[in-house]
Every structure is written in C-alpha cells, then in structure tokens.
Structure 1
C-alpha cells in the first residue's frame, strides 16, 4: 500500500503544476514571468528568477540522487551547486530552463511511483539524519517558499517595467 506516497505525490503536483489553495503553483507563476525579466533583479544582491529556477532544479536533483540511493551526492548551502549560475537571454533559453525544471519534477514522480509500498518513507536518507518523507515534504516546502520569492520579484519588476511593454496590461 502506498497511501502516504500517493498523498505526497498529490501534494508535490498541486504545488508544482496544480491549483494550491493560496494561489498559483510554481509552473503557473513561471508562465506569467516574461523571459525578459528572467535575468533581472530588484536589487543588485538578489537572485534573478532564472537563478531561483536553477536553485529549484538543484534541490530536485538532490532529491532524485537521494531517492536513487546516492550516498555521496550533496549540496553545500550557498555553493555553486546550491545556486548555479543561470543566464536567460532569450525566450528559447527561458523555455529550456523551465523544461529542465519540469523534467526534474517528473523524475521525482517516476521514482516515487516505482516504490512498491510506503516503508522507504521511514528509512534514513543515505548520508543524512532524516528520512525520505522529511525530504519529500522539504521539496514541497522549498517550492512554496520560492514561489513567494518569484512573486515578489515579479511584482517589483512589474512596477519598474510598466511602461516598457514587457508586461502586458
């Protein structure tokens, strides 16, 4: 029986491409962000939307590696692997980056669907002090956190770019 796994998959899906109670999912939010602001920041020290997407991909990749029992794969906070350099200079690059995000999410679904029961959820993640259920819930929470950041960047840039035509009225 995979009741817990199926519930986690539903939550992952709702937050990533569904209709969460609080507003837009990750992909709905990203659909509203024009590629022309994907590389812009509100203040020089902040991350761009494209960098946040790269960061989301990094942590989904971490989850994939751990679900595949890779004990040595890790991400150091604030490292290049945690926040990879990502530049978006065209609509094609923006679409390719979003496609990479979708592919990472799809890999997580596939790995969770391959499980025959929920027992793995209580197993420790190799090389970590937490179990797989905690890891998957963390991916959900991480997506929600960064949806907020993307929304904030989008709203601030929308005000700045109002007359530029980047955002359609």
Structure 2
C-alpha cells in the first residue's frame, strides 16, 4: 500500500469510519447530536458545532490546495461559524464535513508518494506530509474535545 493510501486510510479513520486509535470517529460521535446539543455552551469550552466547523474549515482549505488552488484559509477565521438555528442547518454542516472529508481522502489517494516530500504552498508550512499528518492529529485532538463535551452535556 502506498504512503498516500495509508495516509488517506488514517484520515478516514478519524473522520468517517475508524475505531483504531480512539475507538470512535467524528461521524460516530456526531450521528446522534441534535442542533440544540451542538450549539450548547459548556462553560468556556467551544461548542460541538464550533469544533465541527473548525475542523471542516481546515479540511476544505487543504482540499482547495489539493485541487490546485491557493491556500486561502486563515487561523483567525477558523471559528467563524455562522449561527445554527435549526436541525437542517446543523445537518448541512455535517454533510459538508462528510463530503469534504471524503474528497480530501480521495484526492490524497491520487497523489504520488513523491508529493509528500514537496513543499506545501510555502516553505514556512513544511511539506505535504507534515500538513497531512498535522490535519490527522488536529482532527484527533478535536474529536477528543467533542467526545468530552458530549459526555458533559448528557
């Protein structure tokens, strides 16, 4: 199995269907969350909706680069979630996360392994491998937060 296929598999595990590292994934944790629960604040913690938006913001930004576009995302906008006031709006956010995640993994699988050592957009960002590994680690970090917030709300 190529390196890019292995990375795509690891990415899908945390977002869509895996149980290996955390014994859960985003899709599993979010499947039964209502929009009211997703937008409920616990102390000073981010909401589940905010964390969902945040992780998708970065996934969509990397997808844009994978498709030949520019790196247009900025950290300062990564929590700019528009208000969610219905189940339909929450489900739209979730569907965007699932679609963007599958697109990310599919584009990654199509990359040659040699691409992993190339500069990602600008030398200051390191290589493609560093950014893809970072995305996977970032997703696990926020998956843990979502899991804990869910427990606090239940």
Q: State the TM-score, normalized to the length of structure 2.
A: 0.89
CA deviation vs aligned residue, 1:62-100 (integer Å, no higher than 9, x gap): 211332344452413xx1x21112332222111111001
Change (3 A) 1:113 1:137: same
SS in 1 for 2:18: coil
Q: Could you tell me which residue of structure 1 aligns to residue 113 of structure 2? A: 118
What's the offset of the Cα at 1:123? 0.2
Distance 1:54 1:20 in 2: 22
Q: Could you tell me which residue of structure 2 aligns to residue 139 of structure 1? A: 135
Q: How many residues align?
A: 152
Unpaired stretches in structure 1, ≥5 consecutive residues: 159-169
Q: Could you tell me which residue of structure 2 aligns to residue 86 of structure 1? A: 82
Could you tell me which of 137, 147, 151 is aligned with 1:151?
147
Unpaired stretches in structure 2, ≥5 consecutive residues: none
SS in 1 for 2:79: coil
**Greater fraction helix:** 2
- 1:20 equivalent in alignment to 2:3: no
8 Å contact from structure 1 (residues 57, 101) kept in 2: yes
Q: State the TM-score, normalized to the length of structure 1.
A: 0.82
8 Å contact from structure 2 (residues 56, 97) kept in 1: yes
1:18-97 equivalences in 2 (<5 Å) = 18-21=17-20, 22-43=22-43, 45-76=44-75, 79=76, 81-97=77-93
Distance 1:72 1:5 in 2: 20
CA deviation vs aligned residue, 1:103-128 (integer Å, no higher than 9, x gap): 2112212322332x211110010123
The RMSD of aligned alpha carbons is: 1.7
What's the offset of the Cα at 1:19? 2.7
For the pair shown, the structure with the greater C-alpha radius of gyration is 1
Q: Which moved more, 1:4-13 or 1:127-136?
A: 127-136
